[in-house]
Amino acid sequence: MVLYELGLLKNGMLIYEKSFYHLKNLRRISQETKGQFLDAIFNMTKVSMSEKINTLKLKQYKIVFKEKERLIDDSQPAVIYLVYVIGDKRLNTKFCSKILETLLDLYLSEFEKNANPYVAEKIKEGSDLDEKISKIIGDFYATSIDRMSDLFF
């Protein structure tokens, strides 16, 4: 079980992305485009099937989604947060879903106090939130070879 990438979108805009390994055949696509593509797939299936998908199984990858909506003001549309992970075909969906829920709760507790919740602010690498996310993920992303290397070398 390997985790390749993690992303967080706010109203369709990629605000956080963390790549652990390169995705085959997707290197040429920018992170923003990839995030918007995944958001479009998630929303398209939600509208066409009248239900939300949690997992998308592809030929080489498995993608797990978690979404939360926050109604800030009755006169404004809800703010939609979507977090996703891309992993190999053996990715544990239940475990990923719990991690994504924790990450969304962490983000909302840190940034929900923002003066304008409709602004999609980028989360910088090395920021406090990035460090907290890294602690939550731990070595979940690592391949078995990486874990063995850490143990013995």
Picking from 71, 148, 63, the residue whose alpha carbon sits closest to that of residue 112 is 71
Q: Give the tens place of pLDDT for each residue, 132-145.
A: 888 887 766 666 66
Ordered by start, the domain boundaries in the chain are 3-152
Q: Which class is domain 3-152?
A: alpha beta
Rg of the chain over CA atoms, in angstroms?
Answer: 16
**pTM listed for this prediction:** 0.78
Backbone conformation region of residue 138, classed left if phi is above 0, alpha if psi is from -120 to 50, else beta = left
Looking at residue 35, its pLDDT comes to 75
Backbone angles phi, psi at 102, to 5 degrees: -60, -40
Tally the C-alpha atoms within 13 A of residue 100's C-alpha that lie toward its C-beta: 26
Q: Are 11 and 114 in contact (CB under 8 A)?
A: no
Q: Which two tokens stand for residue 66?
A: 């978690």
> What are the pLDDT tens digits along the chain (153 aa)?
677 888 998 888 888 888 877 776 655 666 677 777 778 877 777 777 666 668 878 888 898 989 888 887 788 888 889 999 988 888 888 888 999 999 999 888 877 666 566 676 788 888 888 888 888 877 666 666 665 666 666
pLDDT of residue 114: 62
